[in-house]
Amino acid sequence: MNGGQQLEELSKSLRGEVSGEYILGVIPTLAPYVLLLFVQNFVDKYPKVELKIFEYQTEDIIKFLEEGKIDGGILAVPLEIKELKETHLFYEPFKIFFSEA
């Protein structure tokens, strides 16, 4: 079950009220950009959830997810680890720049 599904299940079991702690691991290269896109909406939607966000390397996030030490992770994909469910948050176009000199 991924982190989003865990929150959804918790929500259903609490009759729509989501509360508790949610620990999210994010790789450092994405944290400054991606977190701005959703943290405020998450806090507004789930005011009783204590969102804890930590920056970890990919290998650590995978390990902590497998060990149940964190609830979700934001990583660069594809990882293709069958024990983990991957969901794309966005696609980023890459461009090349070069000198004509």
pLDDT in tens, 21-56: 999 999 999 888 888 888 898 899 989 999 999 999
% of the chain exceeding 70 in pLDDT: 84
* 6-36 burial code (b ≥16 CB/10 A, e <16): ebeebeeeeeeebeeebbbbbbeebbeeebe
3-74 topology per CATH: D-Maltodextrin-Binding Protein; domain 2 (3.40.190)
pLDDT, position 68: 94
Cis bond before residue 78 (omega within 30° of 0):
yes
Q: Where are the domains of the chain?
A: 3-74
The pTM of the full predicted model, rounded to 2 decimals, is 0.71
Closest CA to 51 of 94, 20, 14, 97: 20
pLDDT, position 7: 60
pLDDT in tens, 5-21: 666 665 555 556 778 89
Closest CA to 43 of 15, 70, 68, 24: 24
Please return the burial class of 101, using the count of CB atoms within 10 Å of its CB with bins 0-12, 13-18 and 19+.
exposed
Closest CA to 24 of 60, 63, 85, 74: 74
